[in-house]
Structure 1
Amino acid sequence: MLAVTFIVLAIILVDIWSGGLARSYARTGAVFVGYGAQLTLGWISSARFFSSRRVLLAENETLRAALYTLEERSALLLALQEENAALRSTLSLPERERGITAPVVSSFRASPYSTFLIGAGEDTGVANGNFVLSGSSFVIGVVTDSASRSALVTAIFAYENTVHALVSDVSIVVEGRGGGNARAEAPRSAKISPGDVVTAPEYGGRPIGVVGEVVVESGDAAQTLFIRLPVNLASLRFVYVVK
C-alpha cells in the first residue's frame, strides 16, 4: 500500500516538475494506443468479412454445380421418356403393318432437300419405294436410296412433290411445299373443313396429312387447301418402314 502511494506521489511530482507535459504525453500515448486498438479490430473485422465471403462464394459454386447436375439429369430423364414413348408408338405398328422399326440417324431440319437418313437398310429388307410411317401411321416419306445398313427417306411433302389424294371423297392433287406442308385445290362446292384427313390411294389409302386451312377467294371456282402433317418431323426419333 505504501509502495502504491509512493508511485502516485512520484507521478504527481513529475507532472508538476514538467509543467503538465507528462499528462500531455500520457494522453497522446493513450490516443495512439486507442487508435492502434481500433485498427487491429478493423483488420480483424475485415479478415472475418473476406473469410465469410470466400466461404459463401465456395458454397454458391457448390450449389450451382449441384443445380447443373440436377438439370442435366432431369433433361436426360425427359429425353429417355420421350424416346421410350416414340419407340412404343412405332412398335405397335407391326400389329397392323408388315415392316421394321428404324431409328432416325440424321436431322430432317439439317437437310435442304426434305430428306433424312434412317438406321436400317438392305440388310434388314429395306428397299427403294418402301413407305415410311410415323408412330401415328401417317405416311411421312418414301425410301429413295438404300444402302446395306441405312436408307435415305424423301419426305412426302418435299417441295413440288405431287401426290394424288382424297379428302372428304373429293379427288385432289397435293403439291408439297416442304417442311411437312402442302397445298391443293378442290372444287368450290366441295364440303371440306379444317381437320379433315387427307389420304392417298397410291399409299394404300393411308393418311398423309390433315387440312389446316381452307381459303375461298371471291369469284374463284376452286378453294385452296393448306395441308400439313400432324407430325413434327424435326423431332422424329423412330419411324416404321412398311415393306
Structure 2
Amino acid sequence: MKMNYLQRNRPRSPIVKLSLVLLGLFAAGTILLFFLSGPVISLVSPLWRSETWVGTRVSGFLEIFRTKNSLISENARLSERLAALEIELAAKAPGLGENESVAALLGRRQEEGGVAASVLARPPQIPYDTFIIDAGSRDTVAAGERVFMSEGPLLGTIADAFASSAKVRLLSTSGEKTAAVLERHGIPVTLEGAGGGNFRVTVPRETEVSVGDRILSADIAGRLVAVVGDVAMEPTDSFKQVLAVSPANIFNIRFVLIRP
C-alpha cells in the first residue's frame, strides 16, 4: 500500500513544487513591493518628472514647429495674394475709362475673357523668357496671339502652337523690341528686352521719368507691360537709361490668358 501511494503522487510532485515556488515568489514580491514602495517611488519620481518635463518640452517644440510652418505657409499665401492685388491695381490705368470710350467711338470692343491656360514650364526649367502652356491649337490658340497675366498685364505672344500646348515668347526676351508708351506724359518709347523679365528704355535726358512709373502697351487698350525700376544718367549724357521690370515675377506665374 505504501508503494502504491508513492507511485500515485510522484508524477504530480514537480507541478506542486513549481506552483509553490511561483506562489512564494509572488508573495515575496508583494511583500517587498509593499515595504519598498515608498522608497522606490521616491527614487523613480525624479525620473518620471524628467520624462514628463522632456515630453512636455518636446511636445511644445513640435507644436511651435508646426505653428511656425503653418504661419510660413499662410504668410506665403497672403504675400502671393497681395502681389496679385498690387498687380491688379497697377494694371488699372487711370485712363482706362477714356480708352474704353475711344474704343467705343472707333467701333471697337474691348476684349474680355480669353483662353485660360496653366504654365507647364518656365525659367529656369527652359530657356529664359519662355513659357510652355497647356493650351494649343485644339483650344483655338494660334501663333501670334497675345498672352496676358490673369490680372491684366501683357506678357508676350504665342511663338508656336501645338495640338495641346504652346510656346510663349515673353516681351522681355533679350533683344525683343516692343512699341510702348511711358504713361507719365504719354511719351512713345521702345521697350527692349534684357532677359529675366527686365527691359531697357532710352529716353532724352529732359524726359521726366521716375522709379515706379508705368509703361503701357502702345495699342488702344493700354495694357501694363512694365514698371520703371531704375533711372541712370551721367552728367554728360544726352539720354537717360531706364531699367524697367515686368510687373510680376515671371518665375512664379502659374496661369495666363490668351487673346487674339
Match of 1:188 in 2: 205
Query: Equivalents in 2 of 1:148, 1:171: separation in Å?
Result: 38
Amino acid in structure 1 at the alignment position of 2:46: F
- Deviation of the 1:84 alpha carbon: 7.9
Q: Which blocks of at least 5 consecutive residues in structure 2 are unaligned?
A: 1-37, 93-109
Match of 2:163 in 1: 148
Cα deviation for residue 44 of structure 1 reads 4.8
Distance 1:119 1:77 in 2: 28
**TM-score between the two structures when normalised by the length of structure 1:** 0.65
Q: How many residues align?
A: 199
How far the C-alpha of 1:143 sits from its partner, in A, is: 1.9
C-alpha distance after superposition, 1:173-226 (max 9, x if no partner) = 222122221111112233333333222336964321122222222122211111
- % identity of equivalent residues: 26
Correspondent of 2:244 among 227, 232, 243: 227
Equivalent AA in structure 2 for residue 132 of structure 1: V
Q: Give the 3 Å change call, closer, same or farther, for CA 59–231 of structure 1 in structure 2.
A: same
Q: CA deviation at 1:157?
A: 0.7
Task: State TM-score, norm by structure 2.
Answer: 0.61
**Contact (CA 8 Å) 1:130, 1:142: kept in 2 or not?**
yes
Identify unmatched segments of 5+ residues in structure 1: 1-39
Question: Which stretch shows the higher mean deviation, 71-80 or 104-113?
Answer: 71-80
- Secondary structure, in 3 states, of the residue corresponding to 2:235? coil
Is residue 45 of structure 2 the alignment partner of residue 48 of structure 1? yes
Q: Relative to 1, partners in 2 of residues 1:213 and 1:79: Cα closer, same or farther, differing over 3 Å? A: closer
In the alignment, the residues of structure 2 paired with residue 183 and residue 198 of structure 1 have an alpha-carbon distance, to the nearest angstrom, of 11
The 8 Å contact of residues 131 and 203 in structure 1, kept in 2 or not, is answered as no
- Structure 2 Cα separation of the partners of residues 83 and 188 of structure 1: 37
In structure 2, distance between residues paired with 1:145 and 1:227? 27
CA contact (8 A) 2:225 2:247 kept: no
